[in-house]
Amino acid sequence: ESTLTLCSPINLGETFEREELQKLPQLQTRIMEMHFAKALGEQGFFRNALLPEKSSDDYLPDLPKMLIDDLRLAYYTFAEKGDQSGDVQGKIVLPASRVIDALLYVGIFHILAEEVNKKDLTLEEPPPPPHLNPEARRISDKGLEIGEFLQLGRECHLARLRPEQLAKIEELCRSHEHDVHGQMQLLVADVSHMLKMLLGIYLDFAINDAVSAAWGQETAPDTHVTHKQFAGIVSFYVKRRERDWKLLQGVFELMGTETLSGSLDKDLLEECRARRSEDTDGDTTPHEEMLWAADWIRRGEGRGLHLDTCSLLTVFLTNLQRGKGRLPPKSAMSEEDVRPKRAWDRLLHAAMKKKGSLASQSLVSNIDFSKKMLVDQPQSTFGDSPAWAQAIIDLLERPQTSIAAGVVGYTMLVWTVASVVAIIAEPMISGLDEDQSEDDRLFWLGCDMFFAGIFTIEILLRIVARCALRPGWRTLCDFFSQPLNILDAIVVMEIYFDHLLHQPALRLFILERFARLARVFRLCKFKGYGCPMLAPLTAVLVVIMGTYLLNLEGVIE
């Protein structure tokens, strides 16, 4: 094994090993990351972080295929169809307002919103100019495959490496390389040790193996990475500590030093105010109050007079408020799945292919068919087009499709409740059949025939419409295989049998009681109408109806 060492391991010192920090492992990890950022800064990895322009000599590694696929996934998840005017006509565009969301979706949490240009992005750039020669076109094509958003993701994932840093990486790689199929490559298992030698930090082996696997996946199953891929892994780690390094620069400027061994007192705060503000009246009371308020992290060890660097970082890292985020949307896998309508159309088409499954039958009864899907269905004998049948289904089963369908739906709900009220009110107002006058008997008979006629017409229209869309006995069997449709049929037949046989004693039978109670359960079909009073109303009517049937038994006897 090579003894080459490029950086000494970071030693946090006794200050960062206090008992209080041992009880806060997450905070201890963040402080370790801050020291990691400091070590990387001392080695010059962040020299370009504050420069407005990138040097042409800097090297930005390529992203592995796994991260590119993740970026494409994030792009299509948040992308939208462009306006019908301008350069983005008909194109899939990522709006500027969703760029940060897409980066967070792919796992890039170390980029601030102000670091990203506020403009709409596309996934692919325009093709290369036609005047280029074939070789130049080939190179240009390869570069333009990155696209605007993929290029942004590459800049956010990876840090640019300077030539001297690349030289160190190459020297380290040569001391650990192996011959793999005629090429000199590195074992993924050696990456953790090499990073410790190069960066001077003990990295978590599980996390490091996962990162290395993203680059080494392309050479699987050999589990090796090339020199350039190792440079990409180094760049990946460096980029994630760039924000911490910028935070440290602010701390160093505040304390007037570039070491982490000092402490902050009111004099340093006064010097900082003198550099940053014109208000220099000499009043140090605000500084003393700030130190006293922040000294809680040390349980008052500093007596409110000074604060060591570790405690200062702890205050920063524990008081960064986490914004109220929202759950990300369901992922879209390709351009054809751009949310939301195109993804819905794709899923609907896939479900319609499985006509024999129960899931597709339920789908057919709850969603709107498009005319395009009805073209391949068997044609109705009632006309050249089943559009009229579709209109009937919309009116009677889908109140959300139109205002007319909503009116019909709520009208049927009112008639259903009225039919239940009529059953209960008849014996209470007019008594039993033998005690009723001729006028009362005709009135209640007319009410029952009115409700029976409405419910009969409704169920017949639904059956005819279904058979028009898909002729055959199977449609009829599927229709009556649904419990709510069976209840509708029971309600209609109960009214007819009750008046045809006209025997009050029949109302004592269990089946007859259930048939009458079915009118109440018919309200269950209206559960999707969004009426908040429907469930309580159904419960009340069930109780009243049950009480009525029990009392009716005693009256008849």
Does some domain include residue 13? no
Considering the domain architecture, whether residues 192 and 48 belong to the same structural domain is answered as yes
Does some domain include residue 474? yes
pLDDT at residue 220 tops 80: no
What mean pLDDT comes out for the span 20-32?
Answer: 66
How confident is the model over 144-162, as pLDDT tens digits?
A: 234 788 888 888 888 888 8
Both tokens assigned to 15 = 């200050």
Does some domain include residue 327? no
Residue 384: its pLDDT value, please? Answer: 43
Model confidence band, residue 3 (pLDDT cutoffs 50, 70, 90)? very low
Considering the domain architecture, whether residues 265 and 292 belong to the same structural domain is answered as yes
How confident is the model over 388-397, as pLDDT tens digits?
A: 888 888 888 8
What mean pLDDT comes out for the span 511-530?
Answer: 60
Considering the domain architecture, whether residues 187 and 143 belong to the same structural domain is answered as no
How confident is the model over 449-502, as pLDDT tens digits?
A: 888 888 889 889 888 888 888 888 888 888 888 877 887 787 777 777 776 665
Does some domain include residue 80? yes
Model confidence band, residue 530 (pLDDT cutoffs 50, 70, 90)? low
- CATH number of domain containing 206: 1.10.238
E-strand ranges in 235-294 read 263-265
Which one-letter DSSP state was computed for residue 59? Answer: B
- DSSP β-bridge partners for residue 80: 93
Number of domains in the chain: 4
Give the position of tokens 């001077």: 200
Residue 376: its pLDDT value, please? Answer: 38
The DSSP-derived string for 311-352 is HHHHHHHHS-PPP---PPPPP--SGGG-TTHHHHHHHHHHHH
Residue 292: its pLDDT value, please? Answer: 63
- DSSP β-bridge partners for residue 183: 180
E-strand ranges in 19-174 read 80-81, 92-93
Does some domain include residue 100? yes
Give the position of tokens 């009969």: 456
Does some domain include residue 354? no
Pick from 162-171, 221-230, 316-325, 505-514: least confident = 505-514
What mean pLDDT comes out for the span 95-100?
Answer: 83
Model confidence band, residue 380 (pLDDT cutoffs 50, 70, 90)? very low
Considering the domain architecture, whether residues 93 and 190 belong to the same structural domain is answered as no
Model confidence band, residue 53 (pLDDT cutoffs 50, 70, 90)? low
Q: Is 271 helix (H, G, I), strand (E, B) or coil?
A: helix
Residue 136: its pLDDT value, please? Answer: 40
Model confidence band, residue 273 (pLDDT cutoffs 50, 70, 90)? low
Considering the domain architecture, whether residues 212 and 130 belong to the same structural domain is answered as no
Give the position of tokens 């960062």: 16
Percent of the chain exceeding pLDDT 70 equals 47
Residue 426: its pLDDT value, please? Answer: 76
Residue 89: its pLDDT value, please? Answer: 57
How confident is the model over 114-126, as pLDDT tens digits?
A: 667 666 676 665 4
Model confidence band, residue 199 (pLDDT cutoffs 50, 70, 90)? confident
Domain boundary (208, 243, 278) is at: 243
Does some domain include residue 324? no
Considering the domain architecture, whether residues 506 and 447 belong to the same structural domain is answered as yes
Considering the domain architecture, whether residues 215 and 276 belong to the same structural domain is answered as no
| Cis previous bond, 427, omega within 30 | no
| CA dihedral for 166, 168, 172, 174, sign (positive or negative) | positive
Domain boundary (202, 220, 243) is at: 243
Instruction: Report whether 312 contacts 264 (CB < 8 A).
Output: yes
Considering the domain architecture, whether residues 101 and 218 belong to the same structural domain is answered as no
Considering the domain architecture, whether residues 391 and 444 belong to the same structural domain is answered as yes
Considering the domain architecture, whether residues 186 and 252 belong to the same structural domain is answered as no
Cβ atoms within 10 A of the Cβ of 361, count? 16
Distance CA 106, CA 320 (A): 22
How confident is the model over 241-258, as pLDDT tens digits?
A: 888 888 877 777 766 666
Residue 442: its pLDDT value, please? Answer: 83
pLDDT at residue 19 tops 80: no
Both tokens assigned to 276 = 């940053």
Both tokens assigned to 87 = 């350069």
How confident is the model over 304-343, as pLDDT tens digits?
A: 666 666 666 666 665 555 555 567 777 776 666 666 555 5
Considering the domain architecture, whether residues 261 and 224 belong to the same structural domain is answered as no
What mean pLDDT comes out for the span 424-431?
Answer: 73
Q: Is 179 helix (H, G, I), strand (E, B) or coil?
A: strand
Considering the domain architecture, whether residues 285 and 395 belong to the same structural domain is answered as no
Instruction: Report whether 428 contacts 555 (CB < 8 A).
Output: no
> Domain limits at 284?
244-296
| CA proximity to 330, closest of 307, 346, 319 | 346
| CA proximity to 343, closest of 363, 329, 355, 356 | 329
Does some domain include residue 171? yes
Domain boundary (103, 135, 157) is at: 157
310-332 in b/e form (b: 16+ CB < 10 A) is bbbbbbbbeeeeeeeeeeeeeeb
